Chain A
Amino acid sequence: MLAYATRHFSLAVPVILIVAVLAFLLMHALPGDPASVMAGSDASPAEIERIRVQLGLDRPVIEQLLLWGWNLLHGDFGRSLTLNQPVMSAVVERAPVTLSLSLLALAITVPISLVLGALAAYRRGTAVDGIVMVLALAGVSVPGFWLGILGITLFSVKLGWVPSSGYVPLSSGVGPWFASIILPATVLAFFQIGFLARITRATMLEVFEQEFIRAARARGVGEWRIVSKHVLRNGLLIIVTACGVILTMLISGAVVTETVFALPGIGRLVVQGVFARDYPLIQGVLIIIALVLVVVNILVDILYRLIDPRLR
C-alpha cells in the first residue's frame, strides 16, 4: 500500500509541474505590457515601474519562471497587489467560508443522490424512475446562480426565513452559521445531486444485474436486505470514485454561489481579483486550489483501494 501511495504521488509530480507552468503562463498571456495592465489605465509611469519590479517582470521570462517555481517550492504563492498580503494567507482567511459551503453541500448531496439513484435503478422503467430522472436532469440543467436568486427572492425576501447574503462564522454560534449557508449550500447541492444521482443509477443498474444479486435472491434474501447490504455498498464505491470530480465541481459552483450570496469565500476572492486586475492573486489562488485538488484526488484513489477489497 505504501509503495502504491508513493508511486501515485510520484506520478503526480509532472502534473503539478505543468500546473505551475500553466498558472505562470496565464499572467504572461496578458496582452501588451502586463505591468501597465495591472496598474490600470490611469496609473503613473512610476507606479507601473513599481509593479514591474515588484513582480520581477523586468527580468527575462526564463528567470521569472524559475523564480516562480523556486518560490512555490518554498510555499510562497505570490503576493496580492490589492490586498497587500500573501495570497496564501488571503486564501487561508477565506477558506472556512468555502469549506463550510462545500462540505454542507456535499453532506446534502451524497445521501439524497444515493437514495434517489438507487430508487430509480430499483424501480427501473416505472414512474418513480421517470420522476427521479427528470429531477436529476433538471439538476444538471438549471443554472445555479439563477436558482440562487430565486431562492433569495423566495426564502429571504418574501418569507424572511434566512438572511439573503453574508456569512456568519461558526464561532458566532451554530444556528446563525447554519442559517447563513443552508440556502447557498442547497443551491450548490442541486447540481451535484443531479450529477451524482445519474451516475448512481447507471452503476446500480449494472449492480442489479450481477450474479451475486441473483444468487442472493435465489437464496431467499429479502429485497430490503439486498438493496441495503449488497447494492448500496457498491454505491459507496461510486461516491468515492466520483468524489474528486464532485469536489472540483463544488469549487467551481462555489465561485458562482459565493457571488450570488455575497459570501466572502475563495471564489469571491478570485472574482474580486479579476475586477481589481490583481493577477498575482488570481494566479496564486488558482495554483493553490489546483494543488489541493491534485492531492485530494490522489488520496481518493488510495482510499478507493483501501475500501474495495477486490483491489487490495
Chain B
Amino acid sequence: MTDSTMQTVEPDPAAAGQFLHKRLRRILRHRSIVIGAAIVAAIVIPAIAAPLVAHFPPNEMHIRDRFTFPSGEYWMGTDAYGRDVFSRVVHGARISMGIAALVTLIVGICGAMLGVLAGYYRVIDGFVMRVMDALMAFPEILLAIAITAALGPQLNSVVIAIAAAYVPRTVRIVRASTLLIRELAFVEAAFINGVGDLRILFRHILPNCVGPLAVQLTFVFAYAILAEAALSFIGVGPPPPAPSWGNVISDSRDYAAEAWWVMAFPGLAISLAALGANLLGDGLSDLLDPRMKGNS
C-alpha cells in the first residue's frame, strides 16, 4: 500500500511533509514500537530526573525503618540498612541505563566502522572477521567477566567488557549489509563518477546499513541491561554501594524470603527495561522487513 508511494520521493516540500507524515503513521501503527518506546521512556525519564523523583538519596540509611513493607513513605519498602528501595531503583536506573546506553553507543560506532570497512575492503575483511569470530568463541558473560577482572572493578571496565562481547555480532550484521549494498548500481555509479572511497563508504553505504544496525542496537541495549545486572550480581559490576540494579538484588539475597520487596522491584525494573528495548527492536525489525508483518 504505502510502499509504492514511499519509493518515489519528490523534492517538493509538501510531498516531503506528507511522506514524513505517512512514515510516522506507519511507525505508530506498529504496536510493539509504541509500547516498547513507552516502556523505555517510562524508565529513562525518571532516571534522568532521579534527584527530583526519588524521595531520598539512594544511600541514605534510616536504621529505625529497616525492612519496612512498601508504604506511602517508602513506595518500594526499605532494605537491611533502611535505605529506600524506590530511591535506589530510580538512581540505579541512571547507572544501569547509562551503562547500557554507553555500551550501545560504543557497539554502534565500532560495529558500523569495522563492519563497513570489512565489507568494503576485501584486504582487511578476512583478518577483521577472524578476530570477530575469535571474540565470539568466548561466551559473552565469561568474556565480560574476564575483561572486568583484567581492567579492575570500575564503571569504565564494565562498559568496555560488555561492549567487547557485543561488537562482533554487530560487525557481522553491518558487514553483511555492506556486501549487499556495494554491489548495487548506485554505488557503482558513484564509483564511476570518481567519488572517493571515504565518501562512498560514509555517504552512500553506511546510511543504507542504518536499518539493520538500529534493530541490532536496540537488542544490544536490552542485552547490555541484562549483562550489567548479571555482572553486578556476580560482584564484578560497578562497585557497591552504587545502587545499580544488579547490586541492589545482590544485597537482598540473604533475606529474599523475608523482605521480598527489596529484590522484587529492581528485578522488575530490569525485566521491564529489557522488555521495552526488545519490543522496540521487534517492532523496528518488523517495520524494516514487512514479510514478517502481522505478528504484534
Taking Cβ atoms with an 8 Å cutoff, the residues of A that contact B are 14-16, 18-19, 22, 26-27, 29-31, 124-125, 129, 133, 137-138, 140-146, 149-150, 152-153, 157-158, 201-202, 205, 248-249, 251-253, 255-256, 259-260, 267, 270-271, 273-275, 277, 279, 282-283, 285-286, 289-291, 293-294, 297
Contact = CB atoms under 8 A, between A and B. Distances in A.
9 contacts: A141-B275, A143-B271, A157-B256, A252-B141, A255-B234, A256-B230, A274-B146, A279-B150, A291-B137
Nearest to A291: B137
A137 B230 CA distance: 18
B131 A18 contact: yes
B216 to A, nearest CB: 15
Interface in B207-259: 222, 226, 229-230, 233-236, 246, 249, 253, 256-257
B275 A271 contact: no
Nearest to A294: B137
B134 A143 contact: no
A252 B161 CA distance: 14
B202 interface: no
B278 A286 contact: no
A249 B139 CA distance: 6
Nearest to B137: A290
Interface string B116-159: 00000000000000110111111111110111111110000000
A157 to B, nearest CB: 4
A26 B229 contact: no
A267 B146 CA distance: 11
Which label, helix, strand, loop or mixed, suits the secondary structure of the B interface? helix
B279 interface: yes
Contacts of B284: none
B134 A271 contact: no
Nearest to A274: B149
B256 A152 contact: yes
Nearest to A292: B137
A271 B234 contact: yes
B270 interface: yes
Contact of A15 (B134, B141, B279, B294): B134
B260 interface: yes
Contacts of A279: 149-150
Contacts of B140: 248-249, 252
A149 B249 contact: yes
Closest 7 CB pairs of A and B: A18-B134, A146-B267, A141-B274, A141-B275, A252-B139, A252-B141, A290-B137
B137 A19 contact: yes
B130 A18 contact: yes
Interface string B170-183: 00000000000000
B2 interface: no
Contacts of B270: 142-143, 146
Contacts of A297: 137
A251 to B, nearest CB: 4
A31 B105 CA distance: 25
Given A138-B275, A279-B149, A149 B253 contact: yes
B152 A31 contact: yes
A104 B257 CA distance: 27
B282 to A, nearest CB: 8
A129 B294 CA distance: 11
Given A144-B230, A256-B234, A275-B235, A158 B257 contact: yes
B256 A29 contact: no
A286 B142 contact: yes
